[in-house]
Amino acid sequence: MIFENNGRERFLEAVTDFEAAVHDRDVDRSERAFGELYRYFGQAGEQEVGRAAPRLAALLPEVPPGPRGTVAVIVGACVERGADAVPCAPHVFAELAETLAAAGEFCERWEETGGGEFPDPDGDEPDPSLFERVGPEAALAWLTLPQWEMASVAMLNHAAVRTALDGALRDRLLRAARTVEEASGHDFKCLTYALLVLDDEPLIVLHRPTGTGYAMRMGGIGDNFQLHTLLADVLAGGGRIPGRAPSAQEAAVCRDQPGQVHTTGSFNLVTPAGEWVWNEGTPSDIPVVDGVRLLVLDPPPYERSWPAGRFFPNMRGDLVLERVLDAEEAGRLLAGCVTKDG
């Protein structure tokens, strides 16, 4: 117990030393303090990481570009261990935006200087010529992209962070990530899916075979595999429509329980225009009609199975039924929807 308490104290002492060294621009002392911070991180308790996270997040703009991404990852790890993400997230997102912009410049300079296969940012020690070819700032941005994605997703696992995120900044981050992805082929699926998560989002669901409709509300759902399972649980499992109902375990792992379990699809997700809403996509793919997302459920054209669970294991998802539409309202909405055969 004494050793554990000492470790906790040493962790916060290291955070304080690291802050002071960064403020003083003392590189050697910063490296020593960071080593101590990393060494004692595992012994820190929830109270210690809770105190450290916002301090380290606020320090990010002053940390040199090289280790800055690593510090962001530690902030994310603190959040995953119980620190409040809300005061940390704005600092992480601000640096993410700058890193994505610089990564975009990296892609441009890479092509201007001969192109070729892009270096793996998760690979081994980078070739020194990389920094000469595109410039140190652009190179460091490219190489630290995985760290910024990791830290940002840790923030976005929390509904309070997602709902507080400015819409303009969210759009800016999405555009920048897609620009880099299109130019380089780098996979930003985790980051983009996290930025696209909807919270407290109204959803109208129409079940074409029975002509019934349902006003629902969803939040924290990472992909449409998860949404599909929860729809089947609420509607088929709730006795509202015929079809296969997921087991209690299949539904639970899509809400807040750990793990994955095999499930089979209950219907086909379709837009009002008759286009498929792919399970591989996100609920943001569902079109908005008269201010509310509108989804149609058709019989499945073939059997589809997948591991039920959450795309983001640390993100709680939910889907609730708020009311059943009366026959007139459901019929009117369905009349404006194209059938699956066109």
Task: Give, in degrees to the nearest 5, the angle at Cα 130 between 128 and 134.
Answer: 135
* β-bridge partners, 324: 214
pLDDT band at 9 (very low <50, low <70, confident <90, very high): confident
CB contact at 8 A, 240 and 214: yes
- What pLDDT shows up at residue 340? 60
- Give the residue among 240, 254, 250 at the shortest CA–CA distance from 207: 240
- Is the pLDDT confidence value at 59 over 90? yes
123 Cβ contact list (under 8 Å, min separation 6): none
| Residue 276, both tokens | 């498929």
- What pLDDT shows up at residue 342? 42
- What pLDDT shows up at residue 124? 74
- What pLDDT shows up at residue 140? 94
CB contact at 8 A, 201 and 217: yes
Report, as an integer, the average pLDDT of 268-292: 97
pLDDT band at 3 (very low <50, low <70, confident <90, very high): very low
* Strand pairing report for 201-207 and 292-298: parallel
- Is the pLDDT confidence value at 48 over 90? yes
Q: Over the stretch 136-183, which tens digit does the pLDDT of each residue have? A: 999 999 999 999 999 999 999 999 999 999 999 999 999 999 999 999
- What pLDDT shows up at residue 110? 94
Surface-to-core class of residue 261, CB atoms within 10 Å of its CB (0-12 exposed, 13-18 middle, 19+ buried): middle
- What pLDDT shows up at residue 5? 57
- What pLDDT shows up at residue 2? 42
What percent of the chain is modeled with pLDDT above 70?
97
Give the Å distances, CA to CA, from 175 to 97, 267, 284: 10, 32, 15
- What pLDDT shows up at residue 80? 96
Q: Over the stretch 191-218, which tens digit does the pLDDT of each residue have? A: 999 999 999 999 999 999 999 999 999 9
Report, as an integer, the average pLDDT of 102-121: 93
- What pLDDT shows up at residue 8? 79
* Strand pairing report for 305-308 and 201-207: unpaired
- Is the pLDDT confidence value at 258 over 50? yes
The whole-chain average pLDDT of the chain stands at: 94
| The residue to which tokens 């795309």 are assigned | 311
- What pLDDT shows up at residue 341? 55
Q: Over the stretch 65-106, which tens digit does the pLDDT of each residue have? A: 889 999 999 999 999 999 999 999 999 999 999 999 999 999
- Give the residue among 60, 62, 58 at the shortest CA–CA distance from 70: 60
- Is the pLDDT confidence value at 123 over 50? yes
